[in-house]
Chain A
């Protein structure tokens, strides 16, 4: 293919960080999602909303390979999920009220655990990795809490530590599932500023799953609503509906 004006070859458009194409999923005989498609482009902030049980979290778990899709295709950065290996490009913050840990774990250990897949035996942390750790700790306002026990922090501070863990590999796609659950106003403000920086400065694609629009209003370029939820096996169908951004 060539440009009509210059005759120069056209560069292929960058692969979408996340693409679900005609995906269906059921828990046993209970259909949750049926023929759902969603594409998130590089540098795009997409909010996924919907009522409780509508299938928002299931949709994201399908997109990240945590649940097997019954049908359809899931691609990360243009690659089928089954062959995708560059997981460092993906950051994920699961849904949770607080970070529970029976054994004490420090904020720094939580953040560094994000690098576990890239850690090799008897290999010191590279200067690049150390700098990245410092960067995300600073970005999320955790400088003074590095050695603190995670379980003794507030819900907002815990959530920021989990987001820092997701960011420590320098991902190009960040998926957050209900990130403001149990988080105070100050932490929400820090989170908003951090997300704004990630999208505008670092060009990251962000998928923000939430039933609460306060967390993403003014940030989301697209809002997608999951409609239908858990529906009867015979007639049920979930679908995605674009909603005007705030």
Chain B
């Protein structure tokens, strides 16, 4: 995108607006796209004033209204629905008029300043929110990780020494690595199989079968945990099996198993991973399927004429062409897995060697009230995502250049 805009020929704008003054061709591109009637060269004081008053008024009004919703629900008849409706209307309307007045204010400024400022004004509100809710907390959390449990005194590296000396933390690290090694790979693999096979079905068959695999995408982690807690349910040998897995297991002659407590070969962790794979395959399939449909038919046809088997066509022709999408799906799942929390929290809460980093963080922060240790754990999590992050940025830059 950006590369594209800076090299775009500017003949269109300038030619149309100022035919009398041809710009020298060797000059860097002038800010042509913004050079239109909305930016006269003189300041428009009325616009500036109305804009400013509007901005301040909207911010003040919105801030107070939203605080009133929280502090004085009785003003809204204590009705949750009314509060929700007011917030929706005020939020959307407020955002509209905020941008309206911001736009008016900037348009009132003299030409050059107006053009230069406009883009920043458009991104300012969203970046303020990102700064407040993601950047500031990140710095603050790093800061807290060197402080004591209620963040009142710095304690140096004590928190880090504690967590790395803690066997449960090491356990969680090992488990997270296991999750990372298994879940993204399996998700991509199954997603790929579904995408390829669905492509070979009739149109209606494809639609229906995809919907079945889609379905879990709409289900929450907690809902999925409820569903799978039934599958993994345990009953003593004296009773009938009510859990599906035990029923199958017993049918093959096994004894009743308490699956989620069985940590031989990390069985319980693997069973938790199954839940995440079950949830994620639909997403993988959507992206992979559309990528597969984008593979030019000629390349497949050519390989077929050369006598390649279907399997060879898939691995040698299709996969290389959808490599980018495969990586996207893999990385997206990877990021999700790093932060995996709900499933473990709800089903085992880290018992029986199923602990993961995000759940340990929750335990330290809210059950043990150890703010410092919890922050140190999040910093470790941040460090763990850093390689992914660097990869994402590099990948993004490469894609931008090729656009």
Q: Do A and B bind each other?
A: no
Residues of A within 8 A of B (CB): none
